Structure 1
Amino acid sequence: MQRRLALLTPLAAALVATGCASLSPAMGLSPAHWDAFNRAQIEGLIASLGKGSPGYNATRSPYVVFDWDNTSVFLDIEEASLIYQLENLAFGATPAQLEVALRKNIPKKDFLPAYNNAAGKPVNIDLVVPDIVASYTWLYQNSSTLKGSKPLAAVKLDPNYIAFTTKVRYLYEAIGDTFDHDTAYPWVTYLFVGMTEAQVRKLTADTVAWQLKEPVVKVKWISPAALPGQAGVVSVSWKNGLRLQPEMQELYAAFRNAGFDVWVCSASFVDVIKEISSNPAFGYNNPPDRVLAMELERDANGVIQPEFRRGYDQTQGPGKTKNIQRFLVTKYGYGPSFIAGDSEGDQNMMADFADTKKVLIVNRLRDPKTDIGKFSAMAVQNYGKPDTRYLLQGRDDNTGQWVASQLHTPLGATQGKALK
C-alpha cells in the first residue's frame, strides 16, 4: 500500500499533540464539524446534568457510554489491527493453535454466493482453513517475525504470504456476512491466541500509528493463482485509513470535565480498546478500567486462549445492554445519561435505558428496516425539536471527517444524504 502522512484538521492535530484538550464545560464544544443542533443539544445536556447544575451530586455522578468503532474513531480498530497483524505477521499462535482459532464455532455450510471463488465455486470453512494453515506453516518456519530466520521483506515475496494474508482477511469478511453476529463477532478476537495483553496493546498502538499515515481508500487483495489450494483464488476488499475523531476526543473531555463518568462499550477485543482509548498519544484519555468489550479466556500466565470468557455476554447487540446493566447499572443504580453509536450492534443500548436523555448516532446510512435505521429517521423527523432523543451526525467517508450536518457521504460519492 502507498504510504503518506495523514492530513489532520487543526483541531485534530492539536488534540493529538496534547493528548486531549482540557475543556471547561462553560466553554462549550468547538464547532469544528459538528451539526450545530446536535452540538447545542449535547451542550444543553452537559449543562443540565453536569457540575454546574443545581442537582449535581458527585457521589451520584451521571455517566455516558460510547461505542468505539466508527463512532469514537473513523473505521474499525479491530479490523485495522487484523490488517497490521497480517502485513507484519504479528501472531503468537502455532499453526495448530491458529487452526483451532480459525475454525472456532464456524458452521461447515458454504459462504454466501458473493464469496464464491474466482471460478464461481462455493467456499466453506473446510476448504479455506487448510489453505491458510498450510501457508502459515511455511511462514511460521521461515519468517523472522515468527520462528524462522528470513527477514519479513523476503518472506513477503513468496506466494504463501499473499495467500495467507488474503485468505484470512477474506475469511473474516465471509464469516461476517454469512453467519449471525454471535458467531462472527468473537471470531476475529481468537486470532490473538498465544499473545499477552501487553503484546496486543503494543500491536494496537503500532496499528494506529501506521493507519494515520495511510490514505483513506478502498483496498483489494487477490490470492495468488500460483497457489490456489482447495478454496481456489479468492479476493477481498475493505476500507483503509483509520482516523482519530477530534470532535469525539473533545466530547470525552467535556463530559469528564463536567463531572460525568465516561465509559466505552465496544464489540472489539478489550485489550485493543483499552490501548487506543487510554493511550495519551491518541487523545481520548479514557481510563482503561472504564472499558466494556469482548473478553477471552487466558491461562495462568495471561496468555490469550481462543475461547470466549465464560460467564460473560458478548458486547454487541443485546449483549451491550446486558453488560451495561451488569457492570454499570448495578454500580450506579441508574442508566447512562447519554449513548453514542453507529450500527445495529448499538441499537439495543440506545433504546433500553429510561435514564438516557440523548443518543448520538454517527450516520452510516443504516438499513431503514433496522432499529437504528428507524432511530435515524426519527432524528431527521425531529430535527430542531429540543425534546428529541436521537441526534444524527453526518460524516464524509472520503476524508474520515464529520460534516456540519446530518448527511453521510459514502467513500467514492460526492453527495451526502441523511437516510438510506
Structure 2
Amino acid sequence: MHSNLSGWQPEVKAALQNLLEKAQNKSNPYAVFDWDNTCIYGDVTETLFIYQIDNLRYKLTPWEFSGILSIALKDNFSGESPVEKHAEQISSDLLEDYTFLYEHYIVNQKMSLEKIRETEEFNDFKAKMFYFYLLINDHAFTKDSFLWMMYLYSNMTAIELENLSKESIDFNLHAERKCHLLSSSPALSKKTGVLSAHYTGGLRINPLVVHLFQELKAKGIGVYVCSASAKEVLIPLVTYQQYGYALPQDHLLAVRLDRDSCNVLQPRIDEAYPITFKTGKMQAIEQFLVSKLGTEPMLVAGDSTGDYYMMTGFPGLELALVMLRSHQKSVELVRRLRHEHSIPFAVQRNGEGRPGQLKVS
C-alpha cells in the first residue's frame, strides 16, 4: 500500500506503514498526539507566557495579579521550606513591579510600550516571572504546577485569548529559535536581589507531523490532540487551515478554564473536564474518545514522561511514537517504555535535536 511518509527514519516509517495497513480492518481507528515538542518544535504555552510579558497583555488589577501568585504558592508548596520562602520573596518583588507596570502602561498607557520596556521595573518583572515559573516547575509537590500560568489569562474572553495566542504564534514562527538569558535589575532595591533565567524562544511547524496527519486522515484514521495547554491557546495552531494541521476543534482535548456567563475566563479550572496532564490525558481519552468511538487509540505520540500514561494505559494500542529530543524527560520516556512495558514503540529523533548527544539505555 502506497503512503507518503518520506522523512521518517526507516524503522519508524515501517512501523507507521504497518499501522496504516492494520487500520483498514479496524472500526473507528484513531490516533492521539501530544502537542508541544511532538507536533511542533517548541512550546506554545511557554512562548505565549513570554509574549504576554513582553507586550504586557494582562487584564488583571494588581490585587488580582497578587491573588494568582498566591494561588501559585498555595497550590505548589507545603510547609515553610527555603524554596517556598524564596518563592514568596519573588512574588513580593513581582507585585511591586506589576503595580508600576499597571499604573504606567496596562491601565492607562502613560508610557509607550517601547519606553516601558526600557524601565528597570520591566526588566526585573520579565526575569523574575520566568524564574518564578522555573522555580515552581522544578520544586512543586503537585503534578499540576503549571496551572497558575493559565490564570494569567483571567478576565479575557475566550476569543480574546484565542486571538492573543494567534498573535504570539505568528510572532514566534518568525522569531529565531535560540536561548535567551534574562537577568533581573541590579538597580532596584528588592528582596531577592539579582536573579537569572533562560528560555528558548520561537516555534516551528513540524512538516513530518503535518504530512502524517494528512496521511492518517486520508486512510480514514481520526486524528486527535491531547495537550496540557489551555484549549483556546491551541485552537489557532491546531485548527486553522493556514498552519497545515487543520483539525476540527472537537478533536482537541486540552485544559479548560472556567468562565462566567459572559464567556470571560476565570482563575480556576472547569471541573467538568480532566486536567490533561499525565494521568489526566489518559482520563480525557477514556472519557471523550473511548466512550464515544467504542475503541482504544491505535497510535499515541508524545515526547516526554508527561505522555507516559496515555502511551501505556490502553492494552489495544498498536504503536507508541516517541518524538525524541535532547531533554531528560524525553530520554526518560524511552527508557521507561523499553524497560517497564512490552508495548510496541518507535523513536523518531527530533530534527532540531543533536542525535549524537542523545543516549538512551
TM-score (ref. length: structure 2): 0.92
Instruction: Assess if the C-alpha contact under 8 Å between 1:61 and 1:261 holds in 2.
Output: yes
Pairwise CA distance, 1:311: 3.8
What is the match of residue 48 of structure 1? Answer: 22
Q: CA distance change for structure 1 residues 369 and 153 in 2, over 3 Å: closer, same or farther? A: closer
1:232 pairs with 193, 200, 204, which one? 193
What is the match of residue 61 of structure 1? Answer: 28
What is the match of residue 89 of structure 1? Answer: 56
Matched, 1:246 2:217: no
Instruction: Assess if the C-alpha contact under 8 Å between 2:304 and 2:332 holds in 1.
Output: no
Pairwise CA distance, 1:63: 1.1
Question: Residues of 2 paired with 1:328 and 1:181: CA distance?
Answer: 27
Pairing of 1:91-110 with structure 2 (within 5 A):
91-104=58-71, 105-107=75-77, 109-110=80-81
Matched, 1:134 2:96: yes
1:417 pairs with 340, 358, 361, which one? 358
Matched, 1:298 2:259: yes
Pairing of 1:1-400 with structure 2 (within 5 A):
27-32=2-7, 34-49=8-23, 53=24, 55-56=25-26, 60-104=27-71, 105-107=75-77, 109-110=80-81, 112=83, 124-143=86-105, 145-364=106-325, 365-366=327-328, 370=332, 372-375=334-337, 389-396=344-351, 400=352
Q: What SS does the corresponding residue of 1:92 show, helix, strand or coil?
A: coil
Instruction: Assess if the C-alpha contact under 8 Å between 1:77 and 1:242 holds in 2.
Output: yes
Pairwise CA distance, 1:418: 4.3
Q: CA distance change for structure 1 residues 319 and 247 in 2, over 3 Å: closer, same or farther? A: same
For residues 334-381 of structure 1, the C-alpha deviation after alignment (integer angstroms, 9 at most, x for no partner) is 2111000011110000001012101100113545995542215799xx
Pairwise CA distance, 1:392: 0.6
Instruction: Assess if the C-alpha contact under 8 Å between 1:368 and 1:374 holds in 2.
Output: no
Question: Residues of 1 paired with 2:82 and 2:48: CA distance?
Answer: 24
Question: Residues of 2 paired with 1:40 and 1:146: CA distance?
Answer: 57
| One-letter amino acid matched to 1:42 | L
Instruction: Assess if the C-alpha contact under 8 Å between 1:111 and 1:178 holds in 2.
Output: no
Unaligned 5+ runs, structure 1: 1-25, 113-121, 383-387, 401-407
Pairwise CA distance, 1:27: 4.6
What is the match of residue 13 of structure 1? Answer: none
Structural RMSD (CA): 2.3
Instruction: Assess if the C-alpha contact under 8 Å between 2:334 and 2:360 holds in 1.
Output: no
Question: Residues of 2 paired with 1:181 and 1:29: CA distance?
Answer: 42
Pairwise CA distance, 1:28: 1.4
Unaligned 5+ runs, structure 2: none
Instruction: Assess if the C-alpha contact under 8 Å between 2:304 and 2:329 holds in 1.
Output: no
Aligned-pair identity (%): 27
| One-letter amino acid matched to 1:141 | E
Question: Residues of 1 paired with 2:80 and 2:323: CA distance?
Answer: 34
Pairwise CA distance, 1:289: 1.6
Instruction: Assess if the C-alpha contact under 8 Å between 1:366 and 1:419 holds in 2.
Output: no
Q: What SS does the corresponding residue of 2:109 show, helix, strand or coil?
A: coil
Q: What SS does the corresponding residue of 1:284 show, helix, strand or coil?
A: coil
Pairwise CA distance, 1:231: 2.2
What is the match of residue 119 of structure 1? Answer: none
Q: What SS does the corresponding residue of 1:248 show, helix, strand or coil?
A: helix
Instruction: Assess if the C-alpha contact under 8 Å between 2:255 and 2:276 holds in 1.
Output: yes
For residues 312-347 of structure 1, the C-alpha deviation after alignment (integer angstroms, 9 at most, x for no partner) is 321111111111111111111121110000111100
Question: Residues of 2 paired with 1:353 and 1:280: CA distance?
Answer: 31
| One-letter amino acid matched to 1:65 | V
Q: What SS does the corresponding residue of 1:138 show, helix, strand or coil?
A: helix
TM-score (ref. length: structure 1): 0.79
Pairwise CA distance, 1:183: 3.8
The 10-residue stretch of structure 1 (93-102 or 63-72) with the greater mean CA deviation from structure 2:
93-102
Question: Residues of 2 paired with 1:153 and 1:63: CA distance?
Answer: 48
Pairwise CA distance, 1:110: 4.4
Aligned residues: 356
Pairwise CA distance, 1:265: 0.4
| One-letter amino acid matched to 1:69 | D
Q: CA distance change for structure 1 residues 376 and 29 in 2, over 3 Å: closer, same or farther? A: farther
Q: CA distance change for structure 1 residues 252 and 268 in 2, over 3 Å: closer, same or farther? A: same
